[in-house]
């Protein structure tokens, strides 16, 4: 049984380094998040996912963890984090931490022990090859850096050695272990222990980083990885029934089928989500060469590319599949979509099934910026810039001098800010607020209310779908389109221009509407 509060959850993702700095060191902190909790509540969001806040060398912005049970000093103390949980709960807001189960920092005590020449209890907690000159069986590896006569498998950067959850298909039994070997089993128990530690301090659950990649050589069905998660998630749900687990998996049948409550629809090149907002080609300098995203005005894309990756009936009874405005790994939607195009995209995201996730700053239209890499961000760095609160120093993010800032703020004279948009009833901020309020006011738009495609023809720019008894329709293109209705309806929400003529809905260019059956 999923946590009861997930049925009406609307999430806000916070990149803690960049949200609000209260001590003047140029880096966001826990107290800054506490300060802005009323703002998050005012959006209509009742849940937060916060990127990693643990002790780290920050070679990959905190996804290289050095101590899972210690917070990074840059953000404050454990007491500050516990107070964040407490203050959020007073406002009816839940807090998810980021769990990174697949790897650690190369400076983690577990790894330093595992790298010793002498065998010890951590020797098999990471994936080590048979000797220092042995290849990685197709996986990236690092050798020659430690006393142990072996090379270690990495997940991403050199600084992120992979924790050992075993192999499904074993090619070399001299070093590849099954998933029930002592080392892999010990890692499962370690993850349960870490989750219990933070749940006992008031955390409400976890977004799980790269949840589908734990077991190696586990292709296709991911059966071995699913077995591992059934064990971990089953234990946590039994002990903490109100804790939520959200997977970075992008396969809801697998993720929800092994114990996760929610699975993200992620931006992978050419997949359904990518085709909505980010289906563009760039040159070597980052300029857009072509863009056939569904929500681009001049696109000729239809919705079928999205729907092929959205088999609702296959997972509707298992849990929630969640859509995002963006996240810390994607370019902001403002990179290629203008204000009107983004509004149409967000209107769809905020009326689809599953809990929607708003990436901090998307609600005011913060821009993507090409910036030098910071802490392993590379092309992602430009989506991680400081939140823009007002027109004071550093746009209200920090009182620090500019050179101390984690990342530079947007220098443009028209940089969007919360303060400016609060006062403008037609702003993106108030548009997003209004849609979230509408979602909350209509049971048919709740996270688990039924969804059914109403109209999605190849070659047509129109997409219409039912949420319960409501009919939602969008036309992102330039030409007006018509839709035959299955009964009498009245509009409850409209963006752009649309009208009903008899049994026909007319949707003008770049319009969106929600219709309710006429009484």
Positions annotated as catalytic residues are 209, 248
Going by C-alpha positions, the residue among 519, 465, 513 that lies closest to residue 491 is 513
Contact present, 407 and 386 (Cβ < 8 Å) = yes
d(CA 73, CA 194): 19
- The dihedral formed by the CA atoms of 152, 154, 157 and 163, expressed in degrees to the nearest 10: -110
Going by C-alpha positions, the residue among 92, 461, 489, 484 that lies closest to residue 276 is 461
- Phi-psi category of 414—alpha, beta or left, where left has phi over 0 and alpha has psi -120 to 50? alpha
Q: DSSP letters of 227-247?
A: HHHHHHHHHHHHH-TT-EEEE
Going by C-alpha positions, the residue among 81, 313, 366, 104 that lies closest to residue 200 is 81
Alpha helices in 209-338 (DSSP H): 223-239, 252-257, 272-277, 304-307, 312-315
Going by C-alpha positions, the residue among 387, 328, 338 that lies closest to residue 43 is 387
Going by C-alpha positions, the residue among 130, 125, 247, 140 that lies closest to residue 184 is 125
Contact present, 478 and 509 (Cβ < 8 Å) = yes
Going by C-alpha positions, the residue among 119, 141, 120, 117 that lies closest to residue 129 is 141
């Amino acid at each position: 049984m999923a946590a009861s509060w997930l049925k009406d959850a609307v999430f806000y993702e916070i990149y803690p380094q960049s949200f609000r700095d209260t001590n003047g060191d140029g880096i966001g902190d826990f107290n800054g998040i506490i300060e802005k909790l009323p703002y998050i509540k005012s959006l209509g969001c009742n849940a937060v996912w916060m990127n990693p806040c643990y002790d780290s060398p920050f070679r990959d912005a905190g996804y290289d963890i050095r101590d899972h049970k210690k917070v990074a000093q840059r953000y404050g103390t454990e007491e500050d984090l516990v107070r964040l949980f407490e203050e959020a709960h007073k406002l009816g807001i839940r807090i998810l931490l980021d769990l990174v189960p697949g790897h650690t920092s190369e400076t983690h005590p577990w790894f330093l022990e595992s790298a010793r020449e002498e065998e010890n209890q951590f020797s098999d907690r990471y994936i080590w090859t048979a000797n220092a000159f042995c290849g990685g069986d197709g996986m990236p590896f690092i050798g020659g850096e430690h006393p142990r006569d072996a090379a270690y498998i990495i997940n991403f950067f050199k600084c992120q050695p992979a924790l050992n959850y075993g192999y499904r298909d074993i090619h070399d039994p001299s070093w590849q272990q099954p998933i029930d070997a002592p080392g892999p089993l010990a890692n499962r128990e370690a993850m349960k222990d870490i989750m219990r530690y933070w749940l006992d301090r008031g955390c409400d659950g976890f977004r799980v980083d790269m949840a589908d990649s734990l077991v190696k050589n586990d292709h296709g069905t991911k059966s071995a990885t699913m077995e591992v998660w059934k064990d971990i998630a089953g234990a946590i749900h039994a002990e903490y029934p109100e804790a939520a687990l959200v997977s970075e998996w992008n396969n809801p049948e697998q993720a929800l089928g092994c114990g996760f409550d929610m699975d993200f629809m992620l931006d992978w090149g050419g997949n359904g989500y990518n085709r909505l907002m980010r289906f563009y080609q760039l040159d070597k300098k980052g300029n857009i060469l072509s863009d056939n995203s569904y929500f681009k005005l001049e696109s000729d894309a239809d919705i079928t590319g999205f729907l092929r990756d959205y088999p609702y009936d296959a997972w509707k009874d298992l849990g929630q599949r969640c859509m995002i405005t963006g996240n810390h790994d994607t370019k902001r939607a403002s990179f290629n979509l203008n204000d009107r195009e983004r509004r149409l995209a967000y209107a769809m995201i905020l009326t689809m099934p599953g809990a929607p996730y708003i990436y901090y700053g998307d609600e005011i239209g913060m821009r993507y910026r090409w910036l030098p890499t910071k802490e392993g961000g590379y092309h992602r760095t430009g989506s991680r810039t400081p939140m823009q609160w007002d027109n004071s120093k550093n746009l209200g993010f920090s009182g620090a001098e500019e050179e101390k800032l984690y990342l530079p703020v947007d220098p443009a004279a028209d940089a969007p800010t919360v303060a400016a948009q609060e006062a403008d009833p037609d702003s993106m901020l108030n548009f997003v607020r209004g849609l979230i309020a509408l979602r909350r006011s209509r049971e048919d738009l709740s996270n688990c209310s039924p969804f059914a495609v109403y109209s999605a023809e190849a070659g047509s720019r129109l997409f219409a779908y039912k949420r319960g008894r409501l009919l939602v329709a969008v036309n992102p293109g330039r030409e007006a389109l018509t839709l035959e209705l299955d009964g009498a309806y009245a509009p409850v929400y409209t963006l752009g221009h649309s009208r009903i003529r008899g049994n026909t809905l007319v949707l003008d260019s770049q319009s969106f509407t929600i219709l309710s059956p006429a009484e």
